[in-house]
Amino acid sequence: MTDAATKATSDIVARADFQYRWRVYVFFILVFGYGMWSLRDGYFVWPRENALWRQMEEHGQRPPQTEHNEASLAINQVLGVLLPAVSLPLFVWLMYRSRGEYRLSVGKLMTPGNAPVALESVRSLDKSRWDRKGIAVVEHELPGGQTGKITLRDMVYQRRATDEIVARIEAHLTGNAETSKSPLAQ
């Protein structure tokens, strides 16, 4: 069997990208942490400091800083409630989006949350956002005659393997079995 034929029949697996997940963790920690800090300042620390500084002024002492105004208290209170409330569902969604793996095996494309799709049922490959964003949409025919769409993202899953899967789908659609121009063959 030739090298090109071996590459055409071998499985391609794209697992969740480590860098993507690492960025999601850092984003969550920053947003959730800042929200908790704002919650602490807006509801507890700054009102306590304002009360303490008012007492100091009543006793003729000079406070170390000016009072925190009502706008800064309100902003911190809103951020303290909003950021943790938004960051947790967003974190869950971003991690859910990167679950499982993409797999192209024996002429079938398998992606999380979708039934396996035979390459023969693939009707089109939309790569209009591929060069800028790494997003390709595979349109395929479902058993009932309807069409389905699968979105492949090379930022969420391992880039080289996802690029190879997209190249193989494109080669299948154009009828070109040669994979020498694929990213893994270089």
Convert the pLDDT of each residue in 1-35 to its tens digit.
444 444 556 899 999 999 999 999 999 999 999 99
Average pLDDT, the chain: 90
Higher pLDDT, 126 or 142: 126
Question: Is residue 161 within a helix (H) or strand (E), and if so which, with residue range?
Answer: helix 159-174
For residue 175, what pLDDT is reported? Answer: 85
- Same domain? For 30 and 48 the reply is yes
Is there a single domain that holds both residue 29 and residue 83? yes
Mean pLDDT of 50-63: 92
Confidence bin at 173 (pLDDT 50/70/90): very high
Same domain, 89 and 108: no
Task: Based on the fold, state whether residues 23 and 83 are members of the same structural domain.
Answer: yes
- Whether residues 148 and 134 share a domain: the answer is yes
Structural domain ending residue among the three candidates 82, 97, 112: 97
**Does residue 10 sit in the same domain as residue 44?**
no
Tell me which DSSP letter residue 127 carries. Answer: E
52 and 91 in a single domain? The answer is yes
Amino acid at 40: R
**Does 81 lie in the same domain as 10?**
no
**Looking at residues 56-74, what average pLDDT do you find?**
93
Determine the structural domain holding residue 57 and report its residue range. 18-97
Task: Tell me the average pLDDT across 116-136.
Answer: 95
* Same-domain pairing of 110 and 38: no
Report residue 171 as tokens.
């080669």
66 against 157, higher pLDDT: 157
Average pLDDT over residues 150-176: 94
Residue 176 identity (one-letter amino acid): N
Q: Does one domain contain both 118 and 93?
A: no
Q: Are residues 140 and 86 in the same domain?
A: no
Neighbours of 132 (CB within 10 A): 7
Q: Are residues 7 and 24 in the same domain?
A: no
Residue 13 corresponds to which amino acid? V
Q: Of 75, 97, 119, which residue sits at a domain end?
A: 97
Average pLDDT over residues 127-152: 94
Please state the domain count of the chain: 2
Angle formed by the axes of helices 46-58 and 70-97, nearest 10°: 170
Domain finish residue from 97, 128, 153: 97
Least confident residue range of 57-66, 122-131, 145-154, 172-181: 172-181
pTM of the model: 0.77
